[in-house]
Structure 1
């Protein structure tokens, strides 16, 4: 149908004396339908071109354009489903929140937003489009966290068990730099489809053992969420990995190929790209208190920030009590009843915006309002100490490791579920 193949038509003036006549012209092409949304050729091209540019800069070989296109479409399908869910949730990332994220990104790279703009534009990309891509990335991550967090339960017994394991390891555990390839299997796969997927997995292992570049094979073959990044999962301890990976990888040497490992998603192939030991060091712990306001339909971003600015002014003038303000206004249920107070904690366990702000404060200092993924905060540093891995810090670390593992597992399961419930149609290339 012409509706599916063309996004729009444009009008051109072919002659003033003859009036305006309509002429159909291809502006963009629809390559797929995801529920009520569409995936455009230009979106696919943008991803493919970005991956090519990054590969050229790093000197990395890439598979065929066709393989890159398949991976780009897969990413766009997942992104579109999450953005559609964001619309249903009423989740929007404001310009203010986006600007703060970009400023943090630029600071991490040792520059400013202006530096970032120059770098993006020098690469041939539109900075406006770059901003919108980051907005989508923030949105999809918040959708995932909102839907996946409630599926995660970590018991005290699990924390204690992990603490015992960490204690047996003497505080020194290994971390692995992991490459991952997933050969997926449909949820209602026939025995023939399963056998075919297993054969493909065996072929991938054969190519890797022959010395083929892992990243290139991952981009061409993997159905994993990090396929376009060459299947790079980064550094992880076995406590952070899915259990299936941890049991297979533990004790393996650098450059070992592990797999295929069968799960409900398909066949997994793991490469141990490097191994390193984790050193125990003294930990800076901080005791703090904060007030959190969450923007909503009733409370705008600007109103939330303005309220907190008023609190800061009153607190610095001695006209208000932090604990009382936190009890009355803070929307963090875990700390509000305690006057907004957090006990001694390693600040690296906090989200980046909160961590960076807290670590910039002097003892007793109250921050200006700042935005995190949870909402608008002000935070006061109550005290700071250097600790040698206290019990509390160990428990926080154990809980975070368990959370990271479960989040990866549940995130994948959640995205598989919404895909199975969606209407997805990808059109073959002409």
Structure 2
């Protein structure tokens, strides 16, 4: 992905070094300028072809090509804005993370990585483009996670109220959004109302399925998935719909309802009883001490860890050695004490070590991303976490419901504030600041 300056510099260099050539290689054109970045026509074509491939045999569900191209371009614009914002916030995705993601995708599709490369090539996508696409998606996910951590909070009172009213049903939903800008004018509201009423009229007459209408008309980021929202419990459904949804039959549509993002239509695809059979849940917890050794020189860190371990083997008190030498500021003053924790709480390497020890036993030095560790397992217990798990799951569901509205609002704000110059499909038009 080139910035405009880099792109034009590349063009200038090409013509500067080959001015005498009779022919030059055709250059990729620009589909849109997004702030200091560009979306190339080849990038748009690839994304568009990916969508078309997903709808083979169901082409009648897609809108006309020019509308579909505009929808796909808007997705790319939002993705570019998210990756740029992530970079500004210092969010990074390393090559090793991409390698792991590629390996997981290959495994999920029962392919070797060489077979995955061949499949990508047959689909017209280079391996480098695939990795870059993965990187952008992972940056977007990390930006969303950071957004959730800083913007979304769920109080204990909200969890208590949701648990008290919890029912045993889950609902598979889809929606159509006719978005309105923040501070919409009466004219914009009226146009939005007319559009959503028109969509509802088509659905009522049976002239179009809900999924096809979502693909063609919805302004939601999941429009091309037919507006599918997946399975949700009642507490994950917006309050404007929650009281109504319980009385609907499969396939029925409720709305339009005016929400924070605009006008919405919601369809109950189907419902099911949630699994209530899980009994008491217990986990193994460990109490342990550790010593962390962290040095710029890896060999020096390993040597010091070996020395400290030898002192402990010779009779030195673990807590005293930790207080004097550990580089973990959190536990050092407590003699390396970590308290009670589950096996996966401090990462897989740490968890594997603590699980392999007996109570009272001290590990050999081992390495994690944090540095070199020496670990002493003190004791073990089984803890009933049924209520804790229920509360954690409910907190997560409420948080996801809040995040959906806030994240979509954040994307709309980011889009409205950006400079976007669309140069394909329609006459060039600049929007934003």
Report the TM-score when normalising by structure 2: 0.74
- Bigger CA radius of gyration: 2
For the residues of structure 1 that align with 2:131 and 2:300, how far apart are their CA atoms?
28
Asked if the contact 1:242/1:408 (under 8 Å) is kept, the reply is: no
Residues 37-56 of structure 1 correspond to what in structure 2 (within 5 A)? 37-56=37-56
Distance 1:56 1:191, change over 3 A: same
Q: Which residue of 1 aligns with 2:390?
A: 394
Q: Which residue of 1 aligns with 2:231?
A: 235
Distance 1:174 1:289, change over 3 A: farther
In structure 2, which of residues 191, 212, 215 is the aligned counterpart of residue 196 of structure 1?
A: 191
Asked if the contact 2:235/2:397 (under 8 Å) is kept, the reply is: yes
Q: Which residue of 2 aligns with 1:259?
A: 255
Q: Which residue of 2 aligns with 1:107?
A: 107
Asked if the contact 1:242/1:409 (under 8 Å) is kept, the reply is: no
Per-residue deviation at 1:142? 0.9
Q: Which residue of 2 aligns with 1:69?
A: 69
Task: Kindly indicate whether residue 182 of structure 2 is the aligned counterpart of residue 215 of structure 1.
Answer: no
**RMSD over aligned Cα, in angstroms?**
4.6
In structure 1, which of residues 219, 222, 225 is the aligned counterpart of residue 221 of structure 2?
A: 225
For the residues of structure 2 that align with 1:231 and 1:272, how far apart are their CA atoms?
12
For the residues of structure 2 that align with 1:406 and 1:313, how far apart are their CA atoms?
50
Per-residue deviation at 1:52? 0.6
Give CA-to-partner distance per residue, 1:8-40, whole Å, 9 cap, x none. 4754999xxxx8247676522223222222222
Secondary structure of the residue aligned to 2:216 is helix
Q: Which residue of 2 aligns with 1:279?
A: 275
For the residues of structure 2 that align with 1:408 and 1:304, how far apart are their CA atoms?
45
Secondary structure of the residue aligned to 1:56 is coil
Residues 119-158 of structure 1 correspond to what in structure 2 (within 5 A)? 119-158=119-158
Q: Which residue of 2 aligns with 1:84?
A: 84
Give CA-to-partner distance per residue, 1:285-343, whole Å, 9 cap, x none. 4536899xxxxxxx9xxx8999999999999999889xx69x9667999xx99955665
Report the TM-score when normalising by structure 1: 0.74
Secondary structure of the residue aligned to 2:183 is coil
Residues 193-202 or 51-60, more deviating: 51-60
Q: Which residue of 2 aligns with 1:296?
A: none
Secondary structure of the residue aligned to 2:249 is coil
Q: Which residue of 2 aligns with 1:270?
A: 266
Per-residue deviation at 1:112? 4.3
Asked if the contact 2:261/2:405 (under 8 Å) is kept, the reply is: no
Asked if the contact 1:67/1:219 (under 8 Å) is kept, the reply is: no
Unaligned runs of at least 5 residues, structure 2: 358-362, 427-433
For the residues of structure 2 that align with 1:177 and 1:151, how far apart are their CA atoms?
27
Task: Tell me the number of residue pairs that the alignment of Structure 1 and Structure 2 aligns.
Answer: 393
Per-residue deviation at 1:97? 1.2
For the residues of structure 2 that align with 1:369 and 1:127, how far apart are their CA atoms?
33
Per-residue deviation at 1:383? 6.8
Residues 220-229 or 411-420, more deviating: 411-420
Per-residue deviation at 1:43? 1.8
Per-residue deviation at 1:128? 1.9
Q: Which residue of 2 aligns with 1:406?
A: 402
Distance 1:26 1:416, change over 3 A: same
For the residues of structure 1 that align with 2:288 and 2:59, how far apart are their CA atoms?
46
Secondary structure of the residue aligned to 2:55 is helix
